[in-house]
């Protein structure tokens, strides 16, 4: 009798234990019936995906597996989350969930582009980790940032001592986890540098590895020379080269991307790739319409130059030349995105604003209008700078990654370029589905594995076991880029689920309050 009781107890114990075991699910999440477009460029295949501990734990037939949560992806594709290697999110703390990016399918972003980054990356990364972010973030370290730290906005070559100081700061930033070094060679103060300076700083960065990402010295008449300069920096410093927001930015040269793409292709073996946002309008500040010498040494010096009759006349003569060199008869191609002193200007072009001010419709008067606005602190602009033929040709080039050149947007504020909301959805809806410029699988590759490999994100950019579970679930037929130049504040529709490090942050097309993003410090 007592033996029977003992047996019963033993059997009960075994049952209880095994029930306990069975209760712990195999996976945190299983996505069933997924048409996986894995980011390599291959067509979809059908499988289930098991996610555990933020990673893709299994891909295959998981019919008998248990999970805390199951999502049925029937008739939808599952792709890696998009990786946008060209952003400007130095103000990420304002919109730490990065709503506009997540709803456009982006799960990782690289900031610090065009030579502008946070000066102290380590402090920034730590602050963001404390705050919590919705998206994965990496950063380059910027040439303009480091030059301003050491030399202010001085219009002259760096001395040997200044180069040494800048190199030390570049080295520190790389050790803090920067994924590379960026330049913005049309901007103040980077435009005052020579190639030797950039090479010297590139060498300091290259001690840790990383990418050289360049907003080149010219994107118009001298674009081929500018490509050569970027490649020289990469070669001499020992870094691979990313040519940022590749374009032909001169109306008179529209169509000439056949030559610039041919040169990039020639340099492919040196490790040169490009990125692009799929629009014919660019976006940057108003200051670039002025000659760069006029913008040296800070606000007070700029004010003096604009107010002194002699230098003002010289500025105006050069601006007139610049606008006609670009192939325009007026500033109608220059549209105000954000102008704090007078928000009524936002969405209007300079020619319209000039008329609003009661001035005659002449280039001279329009330049006066621009100089007035510069004296009031300048403006963020949208420029009609590209031709459609070039946009499509650059997109067709196989080594063009998709990147927004945008930032996080406070919903409803200003009239920003729509690229921050809709870069990826525009490629998928307009250039894949409506115009058939590239295939869906190829578009996904340029949004995922291509940028991941270039920037050294070895654990992202593909749907593979062991990689981070940054995943999207969507029906490609339902992706719509809603944001336009007239109504930019519209979120993309169609990304049903967005997982960041295994956590769904978009569910049934809606954002939740999780903060699963990580800082992607490069370990080089």
Q: Residues interacting with Zn ion, by CB under 5 A?
A: 114, 215
| CB of residue 186 to Zn ion, shortest distance in Å | 8
| CB of residue 116 to Zn ion, shortest distance in Å | 9
> Looking at beta carbons only, is 97 or 118 nearer to Zn ion?
118
| CB of residue 404 to Zn ion, shortest distance in Å | 11
Pair 294, 412: CB distance under 8 Å: no
> Looking at beta carbons only, is 87 or 501 nearer to Zn ion?
87
Q: Tell me how far the alpha carbon of residue 438 is from its chain's centroid.
A: 21
> Which position has the token pair 């654990």?
459
How far apart are the C-alpha atoms of 54 and 466, rounded to whole Å? 10
By the 10 Å C-beta count (0-12 exposed, 13-18 middle, 19+ buried), 513 is classed as exposed
| CB of residue 283 to Zn ion, shortest distance in Å | 9
How far apart are the C-alpha atoms of 23 and 34, rounded to whole Å? 25
> Looking at beta carbons only, is 334 or 463 nearer to Zn ion?
334
Task: Provide the β-strand partners of residue 261.
Answer: none
> Looking at beta carbons only, is 114 or 335 nearer to Zn ion?
114
> Looking at beta carbons only, is 105 or 407 nearer to Zn ion?
407
Q: Tell me how far the alpha carbon of residue 39 is from its chain's centroid.
A: 18
Which residue in 495, 501, 516, 400 sits closest to 457, CA to CA? Answer: 501
> Which position has the token pair 């100089």?
371
> Looking at beta carbons only, is 108 or 404 nearer to Zn ion?
404
| CB of residue 260 to Zn ion, shortest distance in Å | 16
| CB of residue 419 to Zn ion, shortest distance in Å | 12
> Looking at beta carbons only, is 215 or 445 nearer to Zn ion?
215
Radius of gyration of the chain (CA): 26
Q: Map residue 249 onto helix, strand or coil.
A: coil
How far apart are the C-alpha atoms of 512 and 125, rounded to whole Å? 23
Torsion angle in degrees (nearest 10) through CA of 153, 290, 184, 519: 80
| CB of residue 184 to Zn ion, shortest distance in Å | 6
> Looking at beta carbons only, is 134 or 378 nearer to Zn ion?
378
> Looking at beta carbons only, is 114 or 233 nearer to Zn ion?
114
By the 10 Å C-beta count (0-12 exposed, 13-18 middle, 19+ buried), 227 is classed as buried
Pair 394, 255: CB distance under 8 Å: no
How far apart are the C-alpha atoms of 521 and 175, rounded to whole Å? 9
| CB of residue 280 to Zn ion, shortest distance in Å | 16
> Which position has the token pair 């945190």?
28
Alpha-carbon torsion 73, 76, 81, 87, what sign?
negative
The residue length of the chain stands at: 524
How far apart are the C-alpha atoms of 357 and 198, rounded to whole Å? 43
Tokens of residue 353, six digits: 């604003």
| CB of residue 182 to Zn ion, shortest distance in Å | 9
| CB of residue 219 to Zn ion, shortest distance in Å | 9
> Looking at beta carbons only, is 114 or 264 nearer to Zn ion?
114
């Amino acid at each position: 009798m007592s033996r029977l009781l003992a047996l019963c107890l033993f059997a009960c114990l075994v049952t209880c234990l095994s029930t306990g075991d069975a209760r712990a699910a195999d996976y945190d999440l299983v996505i069933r019936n997924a048409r996986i477009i894995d980011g390599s460029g291959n067509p979809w295949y059908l499988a289930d995906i098991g996610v555990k501990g933020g990673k893709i734990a299994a891909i295959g037939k998981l019919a008998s597996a248990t999970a805390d949560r199951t999502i049925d992806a029937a008739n939808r594709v599952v792709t890696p989350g998009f990786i946008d290697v060209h952003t400007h999110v130095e103000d990420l703390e304002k919109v730490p969930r990065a709503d506009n990016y997540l709803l456009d399918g982006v799960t990782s972003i690289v900031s610090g582009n065009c030579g502008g980054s946070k000066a102290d990356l380590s402090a920034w990364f730590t602050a963001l980790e404390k705050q919590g972010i919705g998206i994965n973030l990496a950063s380059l370290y910027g040439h303009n940032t480091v030059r301003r730290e050491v030399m202010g906005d001085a219009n002259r070559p760096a001395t040997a001592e200044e180069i040494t100081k800048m190199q030390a700061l570049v080295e520190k930033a790389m050790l803090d986890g920067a994924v590379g070094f960026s330049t913005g060679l049309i901007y103040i103060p980077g435009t005052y540098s020579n190639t030797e300076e950039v090479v010297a700083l590139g060498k300091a960065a290259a001690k840790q590895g990383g990418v050289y990402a360049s907003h080149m010295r010219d994107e118009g008449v001298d674009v081929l020379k500018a490509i050569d300069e970027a490649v020289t920096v990469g070669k001499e410093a020992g870094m691979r080269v990313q040519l940022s927001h590749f374009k032909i930015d001169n109306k008179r040269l529209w169509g000439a991307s056949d030559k610039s793409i041919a040169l990039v292709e020639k340099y492919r073996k040196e490790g040169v790739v490009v990125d692009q946002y799929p629009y014919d309008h660019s976006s940057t500040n108003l200051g670039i319409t002025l000659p760069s010498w006029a913008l040296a040494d800070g606000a007070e010096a700029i004010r003096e130059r604009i107010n002194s009759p002699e230098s003002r006349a010289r500025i105006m003569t050069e601006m007139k030349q610049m606008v006609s060199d670009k192939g325009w008869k007026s500033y109608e191609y220059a549209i105000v995105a954000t102008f704090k002193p007078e928000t009524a200007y936002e969405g209007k072009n300079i020619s319209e604003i000039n008329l609003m001010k009661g001035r005659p419709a002449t280039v001279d008067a329009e330049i006066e209008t621009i100089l007035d606005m510069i004296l009031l602190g300048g403006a963020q602009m949208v420029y009609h700078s590209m031709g459609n033929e070039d946009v499509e040709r650059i997109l067709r080039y196989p080594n063009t990654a998709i990147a927004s050149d945008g930032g996080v947007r406070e919903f409803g504020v200003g009239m920003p370029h729509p690229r921050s909301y809709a870069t990826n959805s525009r490629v998928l809806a307009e250039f894949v589905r409506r115009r058939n410029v590239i295939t869906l699988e190829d578009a996904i590759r340029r949004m995922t594995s291509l940028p991941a490999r270039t920037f050294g994100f070895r654990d992202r950019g593909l749907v593979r076991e062991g990689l981070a579970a940054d995943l999207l679930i969507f029906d490609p037929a339902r992706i719509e880029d809603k944001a336009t130049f007239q109504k930019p504040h519209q979120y993309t529709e169609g990304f049903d689920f967005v997982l960041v490090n295994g956590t769904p942050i978009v569910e049934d097309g809606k954002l939740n309050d999780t903060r699963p993003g990580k800082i992607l410090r490069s370990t080089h």
